[in-house]
Structure 1
């Protein structure tokens, strides 16, 4: 199978690539700068690289041909706190132009869980991208996930850093928000499992682990698993901006990403049975 992998430099893309190669698929990795791909020589020799910036004007020169499936793993949350949603919409629109020219059969998009009536800017942007992708001349499969648990996942790294660095925490009230985390290995299994499955065409599916937890419970479970105790006290006065500074100074996340994540952490992210 010939597969186009966008977001090949991202967390999920890096975990998905070796699994796809292990199944002997032919992989074309989309990157803005091939010098930043950071793969070992054996992997580089096994893939084709297509340098393309989906935020730039569409150029149909040197586009790959005969693609069976394209993974859409592009997001811009780390780039801006103000216009990342506009950037994500533009990237999806340009992606459609390329895919309509290439003639891809299926696009698989890893989105966010969007079951609330009111969505954060981040989740609304993910939903807007879904709507744009559905306008393409191909079959769409949308997998909607909440927090992805695994080393390298932004949300999980925040939880880990907080627990490791702060045995006693004064936390904002959003730590009582419910979420349904999923392990990265399960996300990869879903991403692989929907390949050219006609029963998954033009539909969306919430994917999550078996447990619905608050962020506070997640931190307590992390500490228990690591073998130490933590004490967490919630206060109602910590504003989103103050929360963002708190995450920025205590964890390894960037301020822009912290702002966007805090905005979403106020929203309940729980799967529906779909």
Structure 2
């Protein structure tokens, strides 16, 4: 049975709440996870946070889910710095003796990517694996191709992330025009040279989702930088499928992510490809529960 605990860390911007999920058997590896919500919404109880973390824990992975501060009350780079801090805390913890991956969904995937890129450029130790679910990485993203545009037109409820929406989302996060975004706020702007040395990355995008363009464009730049990247699409999904476990597509994605995370703990941690489809931080308090 998974042991769940709410903890409050002495974070870089004040108290930072995280929720830890520790499997009954010793965890082989860990994952620090950031939920999505357009930088402005979301919490530790949403399915994309709590449900995802429990699913990973059931597969033998310890999870630290981060309750980062939200815009507009807290602007960039607060959330990114809190995700980076939580990763450092987890890596120094005793929740698992294995390696720790870093990841997130949608805006949370942006935070994980930006935190990793900032650490890389600062000469720090980066995670051995990035785990990205339908990330947003461009404040002004490329236009969808004809096939995706037709799919979005056929499913109007999926057509939620046009240029104006995405631009407004980033401006709310930045507290400034999108033209001011640096590569740590919008990692999709990074060049191949700036991504040299970036860690292996697994990315699963949604099929009928304009943000898929952002994820796929970033994957291409990673390949140009000779980064190992596994970029696939979960068939039949709209944006945010991990937040809708009742639709059935969440578990296959989590299992593919988990296979890569658990491979980090193997004696030969070389990347395992999945088959593509179309100051040590301190804890201030802990409140453990075992649901």
Higher relative contact order (CA closer than 8 Å, sequence separation 6+): 2
Q: TM-score with structure 2 length normalisation? A: 0.38
Larger gyration radius, structure 1 or structure 2:
1
* Superposition TM-score, scaled by structure 1 size: 0.40
Bigger helix share: 1
